[in-house]
Amino acid sequence: MIARLLDRLSRPGVGLFVVVFAAYAYFYQAGGWNQNSRFDLTRAIVERGTASIDAYHRNTGDKARVRGRYYCEKAPGASWLAVPAYAAWVGVTGRPRSLAEIDAAAYASTVWAVALPAALAVPVLIWLLGALGCPQPARWIAGAGYGLATLAWPHATLFYGQQLSAALSLAGWALVVRAASGRPWPRRSLAAAGFLLGASVAADYPAVLCVLVVVGYAAVKVRPLGRLAWLVLGGAIPAALLALYHAVVFGGPLHLPYEYSLMPYRHQGFFMGLGMPSGEVLLNILVTPYRGLFFSAPWLLLSIPGFVRLWRREDGAWRREAAAFAAIPLLYLWMNASMVDPYAGWAVGPRFLVPSLPFVAILAGFALSPGANASGRAKRLVLGTSAALILYSGAMMLAATAVKPEVPVHIRHPFGDYILPRFFSGSLAVNTQSIDRVSSPAHGPAHAWNLGQAVGLDGLASLAPLGAIAAIATAIAVGRRRRARAGAAMTQNDVV
């Protein structure tokens, strides 16, 4: 049994999933207005059988008020998904009473509703790259890069909706590509894809941008065209649930919680906080140290040559895919640059772009491996440059996740002025705000922790168990690869 388990863990896909999931589940980030609002809804459903967060609303400013009652201001998908985890916790241990018990329940809910789907998205991304013909080394590097060297890592540890939405959207995309390729059970694949895409909108409303692109792509690729009814049928289930929630809580199926938000910026602009795009905002969310996506994860710049390469492949056979994958981040960029509150409050990067990152990573994957006709020197140059960029990005994401992904909005250089000084001094998990009530950010005790700290380790030493997991998984994978090469060499010698 142990030998069989080790054999399965040595498989690249399983090993990478284990490492990524361990990296996500290793950290508990405690509270904040965003996660508190979502967890308040989960608690209200389980503990009180209601969607009203009246009993908990004082711990968050992200709330809506309707007919004198308070409700979560966010899309409800993540809160809904956490319900079975929180209900199971309450069923086993009883309703949490102390702050420590509530933090433990919130940690379990976050791992279930965010970290696990986010980690499962990594092998899905690798499969999708393979289906599009990306060479094997490049697709594995892109998968690891997406999981551990983008904002996916810190956001997979936060009880937000964006990372869950990213995972659901990516899985829906993969099933549409599967169905369009004529693989077995295309109807089931399309129905499942529709369900996942609809669920992604329930987790984060702007995911409708991705859904529009998917539907357009499916209308061009899926044949016979009548099969698209299965995509619509699958999506109708989460859409109906979301419409029912809106109708019961906010008075109509199309009434969003933002209409009743207590946050002033939700009521500005042309439509619920959207206005004219800003060039300054675009610069800040892409390249500056303040929130720049490419500042903290520069390897994603490879998406530009990757798009060109995918566009030019095989006489234009993959142009629809290239256009679709590029359209999603461009739409999210437009949305983010048009927002009255474009920087999403406390953050280390452009949080509103998180759902688009899988598609940026897919495009980058096609730039990670030079063509078959490239010289050895060119291959080494591409590999070395890509590895350096990904390692830098991974280090930045590790530091942000270990210290605090929610950096105060007034700090103009989140990494240089806040994250890195604390990381190198061993000051980790510094968030002082509880998931249950607001503590003083200046003087309160830290409520965040990592699993190393939970077993008594301190400072950077608390990250040692996570490093050990990664080292063991890497050693197992390398050993399997060497055995496979040795077996192939022996077979070739036998043939000769």
Looking at the structure of the chain, the number of domains it has is 1
**Beta strand 69-72 pairing with 63-66:** antiparallel
Read off the amino acid at residue 255.
H
Residue 38 within a domain = no
| pTM of the model as a whole | 0.93
pLDDT in tens, 148-198: 999 999 999 999 999 999 999 999 999 999 888 776 668 899 999 999 999
Which CA distances in Å does 350 have to 95, 295, 361, 430? 36, 11, 16, 21
How is residue 17 written in tokens? 């999933």
Distance CA 37, CA 42 (A): 9
Q: Which domain holds residue 152?
A: 22-33+84-445
Residues ≥6 apart with Cβ < 8 Å to 403: 418, 419, 422, 423, 427, 428, 429, 430
Residue 476 within a domain = no
Residue 455 within a domain = no
Whether omega for the bond prior to residue 123 falls within 30 degrees of 0, making it cis, is no
| pLDDT given at position 5 | 46
Residue 42 within a domain = no
Residue 92 within a domain = yes
**Predicted confidence pLDDT, tens digits, the chain (496 residues):** 444 544 554 466 788 999 999 999 999 999 999 999 999 999 999 999 999 999 999 999 999 999 999 999 999 999 999 999 999 999 999 998 888 899 999 999 999 999 999 999 999 999 999 999 898 889 999 999 999 999 999 999 999 999 999 999 999 999 999 888 776 668 899 999 999 999 999 999 999 999 999 999 999 988 888 889 999 999 999 999 999 999 999 999 999 998 998 877 665 666 666 778 889 999 999 999 999 999 999 999 999 999 999 998 776 778 999 999 999 999 999 999 998 888 888 999 999 999 999 999 999 999 987 765 666 677 778 788 888 999 999 999 999 999 999 999 999 999 999 999 999 999 999 999 999 875 444 457 889 999 999 999 999 999 999 999 988 887 776 666 665 555 544 544 454 4
Distance CA 296, CA 287 (A): 9
Establish how many alpha carbons lie within 13 A of residue 408's alpha carbon, considering only the half-sphere containing its beta carbon. 10
Per-residue buried b or exposed e for 254-283, using 16+ beta carbons within 10 Å of the residue's own CB: eebbbbbbebeebeeeeebbeeeebeebbe
DSSP per-residue letters across 308-365: HHHHHGGGGTTHHHHHHHHHHHHHHHHHHHTBSSTT-SS-SS-GGGGGGHHHHHHHHH
Residue 43 within a domain = no
| pLDDT given at position 344 | 83
